[in-house]
Structure 1
Protein backbone atom coordinates (compact mmCIF):
# COMPACT_ATOMS: atom_id res chain seq x y z
CA UNK A 1 0.00 0.00 0.00
CA UNK A 2 2.82 2.42 0.91
CA UNK A 3 4.64 1.66 -2.36
CA UNK A 4 1.49 2.32 -4.35
CA UNK A 5 0.90 5.60 -2.52
CA UNK A 6 4.51 6.72 -2.97
CA UNK A 7 4.14 6.11 -6.70
CA UNK A 8 0.84 7.98 -6.97
CA UNK A 9 1.82 11.06 -4.93
CA UNK A 10 4.25 12.54 -7.50
CA UNK A 11 1.75 11.88 -10.28
CA UNK A 12 -1.06 13.62 -8.37
CA UNK A 13 1.22 16.57 -7.59
CA UNK A 14 2.16 16.83 -11.25
CA UNK A 15 -1.50 16.85 -12.27
CA UNK A 16 -2.29 19.52 -9.68
CA UNK A 17 0.66 21.59 -10.90
CA UNK A 18 -0.54 21.36 -14.50
CA UNK A 19 -4.03 22.29 -13.39
CA UNK A 20 -2.69 25.33 -11.51
CA UNK A 21 -0.66 26.41 -14.55
CA UNK A 22 -3.71 26.09 -16.81
CA UNK A 23 -5.55 28.49 -14.47
CA UNK A 24 -2.72 30.98 -13.89
CA UNK A 25 -1.39 31.15 -17.45
CA UNK A 26 -4.42 32.97 -18.97
CA UNK A 27 -4.38 35.48 -16.09
CA UNK A 28 -0.66 36.20 -16.46
CA UNK A 29 -1.00 36.38 -20.25
CA UNK A 30 -3.84 38.88 -20.00
CA UNK A 31 -1.87 40.95 -17.48
CA UNK A 32 1.12 41.54 -19.74
CA UNK A 33 -1.13 42.01 -22.78
CA UNK A 34 -2.78 44.88 -20.92
CA UNK A 35 0.62 46.59 -20.69
CA UNK A 36 1.27 46.60 -24.45
CA UNK A 37 0.32 48.92 -27.24
CA UNK A 38 -2.22 47.68 -29.78
CA UNK A 39 0.53 47.48 -32.41
CA UNK A 40 2.64 45.21 -30.19
CA UNK A 41 -0.40 43.07 -29.46
CA UNK A 42 -1.20 42.43 -33.12
CA UNK A 43 2.46 41.91 -34.06
CA UNK A 44 3.06 39.10 -31.56
CA UNK A 45 0.61 38.08 -28.86
CA UNK A 46 3.31 36.13 -26.98
CA UNK A 47 6.05 38.76 -26.91
CA UNK A 48 6.55 40.94 -23.82
CA UNK A 49 5.99 44.70 -24.21
CA UNK A 50 8.96 46.95 -24.95
CA UNK A 51 7.69 49.49 -22.41
CA UNK A 52 4.96 49.03 -19.81
CA UNK A 53 1.84 50.94 -20.86
CA UNK A 54 0.25 51.71 -17.49
CA UNK A 55 -1.83 54.40 -19.18
CA UNK A 56 -4.01 51.60 -20.57
CA UNK A 57 -5.52 51.24 -17.10
CA UNK A 58 -6.36 54.92 -16.84
CA UNK A 59 -7.86 54.77 -20.31
CA UNK A 60 -9.94 51.70 -19.45
CA UNK A 61 -11.20 53.32 -16.25
CA UNK A 62 -12.36 56.39 -18.17
CA UNK A 63 -13.52 54.79 -21.44
CA UNK A 64 -15.60 52.04 -19.84
CA UNK A 65 -16.76 54.24 -16.92
CA UNK A 66 -15.53 51.64 -14.45
CA UNK A 67 -15.97 54.01 -11.51
CA UNK A 68 -19.74 53.96 -11.91
CA UNK A 69 -19.76 50.20 -12.50
CA UNK A 70 -17.69 49.66 -9.36
CA UNK A 71 -20.17 51.69 -7.29
CA UNK A 72 -23.09 49.72 -8.75
CA UNK A 73 -21.28 46.47 -7.98
CA UNK A 74 -20.50 47.57 -4.42
CA UNK A 75 -24.16 48.39 -3.83
CA UNK A 76 -25.32 45.09 -5.33
CA UNK A 77 -22.72 42.98 -3.53
CA UNK A 78 -22.97 44.86 -0.23
CA UNK A 79 -26.77 44.84 -0.10
CA UNK A 80 -27.03 41.25 -1.27
CA UNK A 81 -24.37 40.13 1.19
CA UNK A 82 -25.95 41.82 4.22
CA UNK A 83 -29.51 40.71 3.51
CA UNK A 84 -28.55 37.30 2.13
CA UNK A 85 -26.30 36.29 5.04
CA UNK A 86 -28.92 37.40 7.57
CA UNK A 87 -31.68 35.41 5.87
CA UNK A 88 -29.46 32.35 5.43
CA UNK A 89 -28.52 32.45 9.12
CA UNK A 90 -32.17 32.87 10.13
CA UNK A 91 -33.32 30.05 7.85
CA UNK A 92 -30.56 27.70 9.00
CA UNK A 93 -31.50 28.37 12.63
CA UNK A 94 -35.21 27.78 12.00
CA UNK A 95 -34.62 24.54 10.11
CA UNK A 96 -32.04 23.05 12.47
CA UNK A 97 -32.72 24.44 15.98
CA UNK A 98 -36.46 25.14 16.08
CA UNK A 99 -38.92 22.27 16.28
CA UNK A 100 -42.19 22.80 14.41
CA UNK A 101 -44.64 20.74 12.39
CA UNK A 102 -43.65 20.35 8.76
CA UNK A 103 -39.93 21.02 9.25
CA UNK A 104 -38.89 17.72 7.66
CA UNK A 105 -41.24 18.33 4.75
CA UNK A 106 -39.69 21.75 4.14
CA UNK A 107 -36.19 20.26 4.28
CA UNK A 108 -37.33 17.63 1.78
CA UNK A 109 -38.55 20.30 -0.63
CA UNK A 110 -35.25 22.16 -0.24
CA UNK A 111 -33.28 19.00 -0.97
CA UNK A 112 -35.52 18.33 -3.97
CA UNK A 113 -34.43 21.65 -5.47
CA UNK A 114 -30.93 20.20 -5.81
CA UNK A 115 -32.24 18.07 -8.69
CA UNK A 116 -33.84 21.00 -10.52
CA UNK A 117 -31.56 23.00 -12.83
CA UNK A 118 -31.58 26.67 -11.88
CA UNK A 119 -32.05 27.65 -15.51
CA UNK A 120 -35.64 26.34 -15.29
CA UNK A 121 -36.54 29.14 -12.88
CA UNK A 122 -35.38 31.99 -15.13
CA UNK A 123 -38.69 32.57 -16.93
CA UNK A 124 -40.95 32.37 -13.82
CA UNK A 125 -38.54 34.61 -11.92
CA UNK A 126 -38.45 37.17 -14.72
CA UNK A 127 -42.25 37.25 -15.00
CA UNK A 128 -42.55 37.69 -11.23
CA UNK A 129 -39.91 40.44 -11.17
CA UNK A 130 -41.64 42.21 -14.05
CA UNK A 131 -45.03 42.09 -12.36
CA UNK A 132 -43.52 43.49 -9.15
CA UNK A 133 -41.80 46.26 -11.17
CA UNK A 134 -38.37 45.14 -9.95
CA UNK A 135 -36.67 44.77 -13.32
CA UNK A 136 -33.92 47.23 -14.28
CA UNK A 137 -33.28 47.75 -10.57
CA UNK A 138 -30.22 46.88 -8.49
CA UNK A 139 -32.45 46.76 -5.41
CA UNK A 140 -34.68 44.26 -7.18
CA UNK A 141 -31.64 42.11 -7.94
CA UNK A 142 -30.63 42.22 -4.28
CA UNK A 143 -34.10 41.05 -3.23
CA UNK A 144 -34.15 38.29 -5.85
CA UNK A 145 -30.70 37.00 -4.93
CA UNK A 146 -31.38 37.14 -1.18
CA UNK A 147 -34.75 35.40 -1.29
CA UNK A 148 -33.50 32.75 -3.72
CA UNK A 149 -31.85 30.70 -0.97
CA UNK A 150 -28.98 28.36 -1.81
CA UNK A 151 -29.17 24.79 -0.55
CA UNK A 152 -25.37 24.70 -0.23
CA UNK A 153 -25.32 27.62 2.21
CA UNK A 154 -28.18 26.18 4.26
CA UNK A 155 -26.50 22.78 4.52
CA UNK A 156 -23.14 24.31 5.39
CA UNK A 157 -24.41 26.64 8.11
CA UNK A 158 -27.10 24.24 9.29
CA UNK A 159 -24.53 21.50 9.83
CA UNK A 160 -22.48 23.89 11.95
CA UNK A 161 -25.48 24.96 14.05
CA UNK A 162 -26.48 21.36 14.74
CA UNK A 163 -23.21 20.88 16.62
CA UNK A 164 -24.10 23.56 19.22
CA UNK A 165 -25.38 22.21 22.57
CA UNK A 166 -29.16 22.41 22.96
CA UNK A 167 -28.69 23.32 26.63
CA UNK A 168 -27.60 26.83 25.64
CA UNK A 169 -31.06 27.64 24.30
CA UNK A 170 -32.82 25.94 27.20
CA UNK A 171 -30.87 28.09 29.65
CA UNK A 172 -31.76 31.22 27.71
CA UNK A 173 -35.47 30.34 27.73
CA UNK A 174 -35.34 29.77 31.49
CA UNK A 175 -33.83 33.23 31.89
CA UNK A 176 -36.74 34.72 29.95
CA UNK A 177 -35.13 35.23 26.53
CA UNK A 178 -37.39 35.22 23.49
CA UNK A 179 -36.79 33.05 20.44
CA UNK A 180 -35.20 35.92 18.49
CA UNK A 181 -33.07 37.02 21.47
CA UNK A 182 -31.76 33.45 21.79
CA UNK A 183 -30.97 33.41 18.09
CA UNK A 184 -29.31 36.82 18.01
CA UNK A 185 -27.38 36.78 21.31
CA UNK A 186 -26.39 33.11 21.58
CA UNK A 187 -26.59 31.23 18.30
CA UNK A 188 -25.24 33.96 16.01
CA UNK A 189 -22.07 34.68 18.06
CA UNK A 190 -21.32 30.96 18.44
CA UNK A 191 -21.92 30.38 14.71
CA UNK A 192 -19.56 33.17 13.61
CA UNK A 193 -17.04 30.81 11.89
CA UNK A 194 -19.78 29.29 9.77
CA UNK A 195 -21.39 32.66 9.03
CA UNK A 196 -18.06 34.13 7.90
CA UNK A 197 -17.51 31.17 5.58
CA UNK A 198 -20.97 31.61 4.05
CA UNK A 199 -20.33 35.35 3.67
CA UNK A 200 -17.11 34.69 1.74
CA UNK A 201 -18.84 32.29 -0.64
CA UNK A 202 -21.73 34.70 -1.08
CA UNK A 203 -19.36 37.58 -1.83
CA UNK A 204 -17.59 35.62 -4.56
CA UNK A 205 -20.93 34.48 -5.98
CA UNK A 206 -22.41 37.99 -6.01
CA UNK A 207 -19.32 39.69 -7.39
CA UNK A 208 -18.98 37.15 -10.19
CA UNK A 209 -22.71 37.07 -10.93
CA UNK A 210 -23.25 37.90 -14.58
CA UNK A 211 -26.49 36.26 -15.67
CA UNK A 212 -28.79 38.06 -13.21
CA UNK A 213 -27.58 41.63 -13.91
CA UNK A 214 -27.35 40.84 -17.63
CA UNK A 215 -30.99 39.71 -17.81
CA UNK A 216 -32.64 42.25 -15.51
CA UNK A 217 -30.64 45.46 -16.10
CA UNK A 218 -31.32 47.44 -19.28
CA UNK A 219 -29.98 50.84 -18.23
CA UNK A 220 -26.22 51.14 -18.90
CA UNK A 221 -25.89 53.45 -15.89
CA UNK A 222 -26.89 50.54 -13.62
CA UNK A 223 -24.56 47.91 -15.07
CA UNK A 224 -22.38 45.95 -12.68
CA UNK A 225 -18.75 45.60 -13.63
CA UNK A 226 -19.22 42.15 -15.16
CA UNK A 227 -22.01 43.28 -17.49
CA UNK A 228 -20.10 46.45 -18.30
CA UNK A 229 -17.04 44.48 -19.40
CA UNK A 230 -19.23 42.16 -21.49
CA UNK A 231 -20.61 45.10 -23.45
CA UNK A 232 -17.09 46.52 -23.76
CA UNK A 233 -16.03 43.21 -25.31
CA UNK A 234 -18.92 43.43 -27.79
CA UNK A 235 -17.55 46.76 -29.02
CA UNK A 236 -14.21 45.20 -29.97
CA UNK A 237 -15.58 44.24 -33.38
CA UNK A 238 -15.69 47.96 -34.16
CA UNK A 239 -12.65 49.38 -32.32
CA UNK A 240 -10.28 46.40 -31.74
CA UNK A 241 -8.69 48.20 -28.77
CA UNK A 242 -7.84 44.92 -27.08
CA UNK A 243 -5.12 46.14 -24.71
CA UNK A 244 -7.53 48.61 -23.10
CA UNK A 245 -10.12 45.84 -22.77
CA UNK A 246 -7.54 43.58 -21.08
CA UNK A 247 -6.73 46.40 -18.67
CA UNK A 248 -10.41 46.77 -17.81
CA UNK A 249 -10.85 43.03 -17.26
CA UNK A 250 -7.75 43.01 -15.03
CA UNK A 251 -9.25 45.79 -12.90
CA UNK A 252 -12.50 43.83 -12.67
CA UNK A 253 -10.66 40.71 -11.44
CA UNK A 254 -8.71 42.43 -8.65
CA UNK A 255 -11.40 42.42 -5.86
CA UNK A 256 -12.28 38.74 -6.20
CA UNK A 257 -8.60 37.74 -6.42
CA UNK A 258 -7.78 39.73 -3.28
CA UNK A 259 -10.67 38.19 -1.37
CA UNK A 260 -9.68 34.70 -2.47
CA UNK A 261 -6.03 35.18 -1.52
CA UNK A 262 -6.98 36.64 1.85
CA UNK A 263 -9.49 33.90 2.73
CA UNK A 264 -8.31 30.91 0.70
CA UNK A 265 -7.83 28.78 3.82
CA UNK A 266 -11.33 29.57 5.05
CA UNK A 267 -12.79 28.88 1.59
CA UNK A 268 -11.10 25.48 1.45
CA UNK A 269 -12.27 24.62 4.97
CA UNK A 270 -15.77 25.90 4.25
CA UNK A 271 -16.49 23.22 1.68
CA UNK A 272 -16.47 20.58 4.46
CA UNK A 273 -17.42 22.75 7.43
CA UNK A 274 -20.96 21.44 7.72
CA UNK A 275 -19.86 17.82 7.41
CA UNK A 276 -17.12 18.16 10.03
CA UNK A 277 -19.25 20.02 12.54
CA UNK A 278 -22.43 18.10 11.86
Structure 2
Protein backbone atom coordinates (compact mmCIF):
# COMPACT_ATOMS: atom_id res chain seq x y z
CA UNK A 1 0.00 0.00 0.00
CA UNK A 2 1.37 3.37 -1.02
CA UNK A 3 1.94 5.71 1.91
CA UNK A 4 -0.06 8.91 1.73
CA UNK A 5 2.00 12.08 1.99
CA UNK A 6 0.80 14.83 4.28
CA UNK A 7 1.29 18.55 3.85
CA UNK A 8 4.13 18.55 6.39
CA UNK A 9 5.92 15.80 4.46
CA UNK A 10 5.87 17.98 1.37
CA UNK A 11 6.98 21.05 3.34
CA UNK A 12 9.92 19.18 4.89
CA UNK A 13 10.89 17.75 1.50
CA UNK A 14 10.96 21.24 0.00
CA UNK A 15 13.02 22.52 2.95
CA UNK A 16 15.55 19.70 2.51
CA UNK A 17 15.82 20.31 -1.23
CA UNK A 18 16.39 24.02 -0.59
CA UNK A 19 19.00 23.19 2.05
CA UNK A 20 20.83 20.86 -0.33
CA UNK A 21 20.92 23.62 -2.96
CA UNK A 22 22.61 25.99 -0.49
CA UNK A 23 25.36 23.35 -0.13
CA UNK A 24 25.69 22.41 -3.81
CA UNK A 25 25.49 25.89 -5.34
CA UNK A 26 28.77 27.25 -3.85
CA UNK A 27 30.59 24.11 -5.02
CA UNK A 28 29.23 24.43 -8.55
CA UNK A 29 30.01 28.16 -8.56
CA UNK A 30 33.65 27.53 -7.59
CA UNK A 31 34.01 24.94 -10.37
CA UNK A 32 32.74 27.13 -13.20
CA UNK A 33 34.65 30.15 -11.88
CA UNK A 34 37.82 28.02 -12.08
CA UNK A 35 37.27 27.63 -15.83
CA UNK A 36 37.16 31.38 -16.55
CA UNK A 37 39.86 33.90 -17.31
CA UNK A 38 40.58 36.61 -14.76
CA UNK A 39 39.05 39.41 -16.90
CA UNK A 40 35.84 37.37 -17.19
CA UNK A 41 35.82 36.80 -13.44
CA UNK A 42 36.19 40.50 -12.59
CA UNK A 43 33.69 41.51 -15.26
CA UNK A 44 30.82 39.34 -14.04
CA UNK A 45 31.16 36.68 -11.35
CA UNK A 46 27.78 35.13 -12.24
CA UNK A 47 28.28 34.74 -15.98
CA UNK A 48 29.27 31.37 -17.42
CA UNK A 49 32.74 31.13 -19.02
CA UNK A 50 32.88 31.81 -22.75
CA UNK A 51 35.74 29.33 -23.09
CA UNK A 52 36.74 26.51 -20.75
CA UNK A 53 40.25 27.24 -19.52
CA UNK A 54 41.57 23.92 -18.23
CA UNK A 55 45.05 25.40 -18.11
CA UNK A 56 44.04 27.02 -14.82
CA UNK A 57 44.26 23.57 -13.21
CA UNK A 58 47.72 22.95 -14.65
CA UNK A 59 48.84 26.32 -13.33
CA UNK A 60 47.40 25.63 -9.86
CA UNK A 61 49.03 22.18 -9.82
CA UNK A 62 52.51 23.38 -10.79
CA UNK A 63 52.94 27.11 -10.20
CA UNK A 64 50.97 27.37 -6.95
CA UNK A 65 52.22 24.04 -5.57
CA UNK A 66 48.91 22.23 -5.18
CA UNK A 67 50.39 19.10 -6.80
CA UNK A 68 53.23 18.78 -4.27
CA UNK A 69 50.96 19.70 -1.38
CA UNK A 70 48.45 17.02 -2.41
CA UNK A 71 51.24 14.41 -2.34
CA UNK A 72 52.30 15.69 1.08
CA UNK A 73 48.71 15.43 2.23
CA UNK A 74 48.37 11.84 1.01
CA UNK A 75 51.47 10.87 3.00
CA UNK A 76 50.44 12.79 6.12
CA UNK A 77 46.78 11.74 6.07
CA UNK A 78 47.53 8.14 5.05
CA UNK A 79 50.10 7.60 7.79
CA UNK A 80 48.01 9.32 10.44
CA UNK A 81 44.90 7.42 9.41
CA UNK A 82 46.51 3.96 9.56
CA UNK A 83 48.18 4.53 12.94
CA UNK A 84 45.37 6.59 14.46
CA UNK A 85 42.63 4.18 13.40
CA UNK A 86 44.55 1.19 14.76
CA UNK A 87 45.07 2.88 18.14
CA UNK A 88 41.43 4.02 18.34
CA UNK A 89 40.15 0.53 17.49
CA UNK A 90 42.32 -1.29 19.99
CA UNK A 91 41.63 1.33 22.72
CA UNK A 92 37.88 1.10 22.15
CA UNK A 93 38.09 -2.69 22.35
CA UNK A 94 40.06 -2.60 25.60
CA UNK A 95 37.74 -0.09 27.25
CA UNK A 96 34.44 -1.69 26.19
CA UNK A 97 35.05 -5.44 25.83
CA UNK A 98 37.65 -6.16 28.51
CA UNK A 99 37.12 -6.17 32.27
CA UNK A 100 40.04 -5.01 34.42
CA UNK A 101 40.67 -2.93 37.51
CA UNK A 102 40.77 0.78 36.90
CA UNK A 103 38.74 0.65 33.67
CA UNK A 104 36.08 3.05 34.97
CA UNK A 105 38.77 5.38 36.28
CA UNK A 106 40.45 5.47 32.87
CA UNK A 107 37.11 6.20 31.20
CA UNK A 108 36.51 8.98 33.73
CA UNK A 109 39.89 10.58 33.00
CA UNK A 110 39.21 10.33 29.27
CA UNK A 111 35.83 12.01 29.72
CA UNK A 112 37.49 14.72 31.79
CA UNK A 113 39.57 15.67 28.76
CA UNK A 114 36.32 16.79 27.07
CA UNK A 115 36.36 19.83 29.37
CA UNK A 116 39.97 20.76 28.57
CA UNK A 117 40.40 22.99 25.49
CA UNK A 118 42.84 21.43 23.04
CA UNK A 119 44.62 24.76 22.60
CA UNK A 120 46.01 24.35 26.15
CA UNK A 121 48.19 21.46 24.98
CA UNK A 122 49.67 23.42 22.09
CA UNK A 123 52.71 24.85 23.91
CA UNK A 124 53.79 21.66 25.75
CA UNK A 125 53.28 19.63 22.56
CA UNK A 126 55.47 22.03 20.62
CA UNK A 127 58.19 21.91 23.26
CA UNK A 128 58.19 18.10 23.22
CA UNK A 129 58.23 17.99 19.41
CA UNK A 130 61.12 20.45 19.32
CA UNK A 131 63.15 18.50 21.89
CA UNK A 132 62.63 15.29 19.87
CA UNK A 133 63.66 17.09 16.64
CA UNK A 134 60.27 16.31 15.07
CA UNK A 135 59.36 19.84 13.99
CA UNK A 136 59.34 20.63 10.26
CA UNK A 137 58.75 16.93 9.59
CA UNK A 138 55.69 15.27 8.08
CA UNK A 139 56.62 12.06 9.92
CA UNK A 140 56.66 13.95 13.22
CA UNK A 141 53.27 15.42 12.34
CA UNK A 142 51.96 11.90 11.70
CA UNK A 143 53.12 10.77 15.15
CA UNK A 144 51.57 13.82 16.81
CA UNK A 145 48.23 13.37 15.03
CA UNK A 146 47.91 9.60 15.43
CA UNK A 147 49.00 9.35 19.07
CA UNK A 148 46.60 12.06 20.23
CA UNK A 149 43.36 10.17 20.94
CA UNK A 150 39.93 11.76 20.55
CA UNK A 151 37.17 11.11 23.06
CA UNK A 152 34.51 11.46 20.37
CA UNK A 153 36.00 8.66 18.24
CA UNK A 154 36.42 6.40 21.29
CA UNK A 155 32.80 6.95 22.30
CA UNK A 156 31.51 6.38 18.77
CA UNK A 157 33.45 3.17 18.12
CA UNK A 158 33.07 2.00 21.73
CA UNK A 159 29.30 2.35 21.47
CA UNK A 160 29.33 0.26 18.30
CA UNK A 161 31.48 -2.49 19.88
CA UNK A 162 29.31 -2.54 23.00
CA UNK A 163 26.33 -3.55 20.85
CA UNK A 164 28.04 -6.82 19.82
CA UNK A 165 27.01 -9.91 21.87
CA UNK A 166 29.57 -11.14 24.40
CA UNK A 167 28.75 -14.72 23.34
CA UNK A 168 30.83 -14.21 20.20
CA UNK A 169 34.04 -13.86 22.20
CA UNK A 170 33.03 -16.63 24.59
CA UNK A 171 32.62 -19.01 21.67
CA UNK A 172 36.00 -17.96 20.26
CA UNK A 173 37.60 -18.56 23.69
CA UNK A 174 36.13 -22.06 23.81
CA UNK A 175 37.69 -22.70 20.38
CA UNK A 176 41.09 -21.75 21.75
CA UNK A 177 41.41 -18.21 20.35
CA UNK A 178 43.87 -15.83 22.01
CA UNK A 179 42.96 -12.31 23.07
CA UNK A 180 44.43 -10.79 19.91
CA UNK A 181 42.72 -13.38 17.71
CA UNK A 182 39.36 -12.53 19.27
CA UNK A 183 40.03 -8.86 18.62
CA UNK A 184 41.35 -9.26 15.06
CA UNK A 185 39.18 -12.10 13.74
CA UNK A 186 35.90 -11.56 15.58
CA UNK A 187 35.44 -7.97 16.74
CA UNK A 188 37.21 -6.07 13.94
CA UNK A 189 35.27 -7.70 11.04
CA UNK A 190 31.94 -7.20 12.82
CA UNK A 191 32.84 -3.59 13.67
CA UNK A 192 33.72 -2.66 10.08
CA UNK A 193 30.88 -0.10 9.65
CA UNK A 194 31.88 1.64 12.88
CA UNK A 195 35.58 1.56 12.00
CA UNK A 196 34.85 3.00 8.56
CA UNK A 197 32.72 5.75 10.12
CA UNK A 198 35.52 6.74 12.48
CA UNK A 199 38.01 6.43 9.61
CA UNK A 200 36.04 8.86 7.44
CA UNK A 201 35.75 11.35 10.29
CA UNK A 202 39.46 11.03 11.00
CA UNK A 203 40.25 11.47 7.31
CA UNK A 204 38.27 14.70 7.14
CA UNK A 205 39.89 15.92 10.35
CA UNK A 206 43.42 15.21 9.14
CA UNK A 207 42.73 16.46 5.62
CA UNK A 208 41.32 19.77 6.83
CA UNK A 209 43.82 20.18 9.67
CA UNK A 210 45.41 23.60 9.37
CA UNK A 211 46.72 24.68 12.78
CA UNK A 212 49.18 21.85 13.52
CA UNK A 213 50.85 21.80 10.05
CA UNK A 214 50.97 25.59 10.04
CA UNK A 215 52.76 25.65 13.40
CA UNK A 216 55.11 22.68 13.03
CA UNK A 217 56.11 22.95 9.35
CA UNK A 218 58.39 25.78 8.24
CA UNK A 219 59.32 24.44 4.79
CA UNK A 220 56.68 25.39 2.14
CA UNK A 221 57.61 22.27 0.15
CA UNK A 222 56.19 20.16 3.01
CA UNK A 223 52.86 21.98 3.34
CA UNK A 224 49.69 19.83 3.18
CA UNK A 225 46.73 21.06 1.16
CA UNK A 226 45.09 23.15 3.92
CA UNK A 227 48.21 25.23 4.57
CA UNK A 228 48.96 25.47 0.84
CA UNK A 229 45.50 26.94 0.23
CA UNK A 230 46.20 29.56 2.89
CA UNK A 231 49.58 30.32 1.30
CA UNK A 232 48.02 30.61 -2.17
CA UNK A 233 45.30 32.87 -0.79
CA UNK A 234 47.96 35.20 0.66
CA UNK A 235 49.58 35.37 -2.79
CA UNK A 236 46.31 36.71 -4.19
CA UNK A 237 47.09 40.02 -2.45
CA UNK A 238 49.81 40.56 -5.06
CA UNK A 239 48.65 38.55 -8.11
CA UNK A 240 44.82 38.59 -7.96
CA UNK A 241 44.81 35.33 -9.94
CA UNK A 242 41.55 34.19 -8.43
CA UNK A 243 40.51 31.73 -11.13
CA UNK A 244 43.67 29.70 -10.53
CA UNK A 245 42.95 29.73 -6.80
CA UNK A 246 39.44 28.42 -7.54
CA UNK A 247 41.05 25.65 -9.59
CA UNK A 248 43.22 24.79 -6.58
CA UNK A 249 40.15 24.73 -4.32
CA UNK A 250 38.45 22.34 -6.75
CA UNK A 251 41.51 20.07 -6.72
CA UNK A 252 41.43 20.12 -2.91
CA UNK A 253 37.75 19.07 -2.86
CA UNK A 254 38.21 15.95 -5.01
CA UNK A 255 39.71 13.51 -2.40
CA UNK A 256 37.00 14.25 0.18
CA UNK A 257 34.23 13.75 -2.37
CA UNK A 258 35.75 10.44 -3.55
CA UNK A 259 36.08 9.14 0.02
CA UNK A 260 32.45 10.01 0.79
CA UNK A 261 31.14 8.39 -2.41
CA UNK A 262 33.08 5.18 -1.73
CA UNK A 263 32.14 4.81 1.93
CA UNK A 264 28.80 6.60 2.33
CA UNK A 265 26.81 3.37 2.84
CA UNK A 266 29.11 2.07 5.58
CA UNK A 267 29.32 5.58 7.04
CA UNK A 268 25.54 5.85 7.48
CA UNK A 269 25.32 2.30 8.84
CA UNK A 270 28.07 2.86 11.36
CA UNK A 271 26.71 6.23 12.52
CA UNK A 272 23.23 4.81 13.20
CA UNK A 273 24.16 1.40 14.64
CA UNK A 274 26.76 2.86 16.96
CA UNK A 275 24.20 5.17 18.49
CA UNK A 276 22.06 2.33 19.92
CA UNK A 277 23.22 -0.39 22.26
CA UNK A 278 21.49 -3.74 22.18
Q: CA shift at 1:177, angstroms?
A: 3.0
Give 1:157's aligned residue.
157
In 2, the alpha carbon distance for the partners of 1:93 and 1:21 equals 40
In 1, the alpha carbon distance for the partners of 2:181 and 2:80 equals 24
Corresponding residue SS for 1:209? coil
- Is the 1:197–1:267 Cα contact (8 Å) retained in structure 2? yes
Give 1:228's aligned residue.
228
**How does the TM-score come out when normalised to structure 2?**
0.91
- Is the 2:163–2:276 Cα contact (8 Å) retained in structure 1? no
Q: CA shift at 1:235, angstroms?
A: 0.5
Give 2:255's aligned residue.
255
- Is the 2:196–2:267 Cα contact (8 Å) retained in structure 1? no
Q: Please say if 1:124 is aligned against 2:124.
A: yes
In 2, the alpha carbon distance for the partners of 1:134 and 1:174 equals 46
Give 1:180's aligned residue.
180
- Is the 1:93–1:183 Cα contact (8 Å) retained in structure 2? yes
Q: Please say if 1:194 is aligned against 2:194.
A: yes
The change in CA–CA distance for 1:122 and 1:7 in structure 2 (over 3 A counts) is: farther
Give 2:239's aligned residue.
239
Q: CA shift at 1:277, angstroms?
A: 4.3
Deviations 1:15-35 (A, max 9, x none): 323322222221111111111
Give 1:109's aligned residue.
109
Give 1:205's aligned residue.
205
Residues 1-278 of structure 1 aligned to structure 2 (within 5 Å):
6-278=6-278
Q: CA shift at 1:7, angstroms?
A: 4.3
Number of matched pairs: 274
In 2, the alpha carbon distance for the partners of 1:7 and 1:110 equals 46
Which 5+ residue runs of structure 2 have no aligned equivalent?
none
Corresponding residue SS for 2:276? helix
- Is the 1:156–1:273 Cα contact (8 Å) retained in structure 2? no
In 2, the alpha carbon distance for the partners of 1:174 and 1:268 equals 34
In 1, the alpha carbon distance for the partners of 2:108 and 2:202 equals 23
- Cα RMSD for the two superposed structures: 1.9
Deviations 1:130-157 (A, max 9, x none): 2222211111111111111112211121
In 2, the alpha carbon distance for the partners of 1:230 and 1:26 equals 19
In 2, the alpha carbon distance for the partners of 1:175 and 1:183 equals 14
Which 5+ residue runs of structure 1 have no aligned equivalent?
none
Where do 4+ consecutive residues of structure 1 move more than 4 Å?
A: none
The change in CA–CA distance for 1:266 and 1:169 in structure 2 (over 3 A counts) is: closer
In 2, the alpha carbon distance for the partners of 1:184 and 1:45 equals 54
In 1, the alpha carbon distance for the partners of 2:162 and 2:15 equals 37
Deviations 1:20-54 (A, max 9, x none): 22222211111111111111111111111111111
Deviations 1:77-125 (A, max 9, x none): 1111111111111001100111111101111121222233322322232
Corresponding residue SS for 1:271? helix
- Is the 1:201–1:267 Cα contact (8 Å) retained in structure 2? no
Which segment is superposed worse, 112-121 or 220-229? 112-121
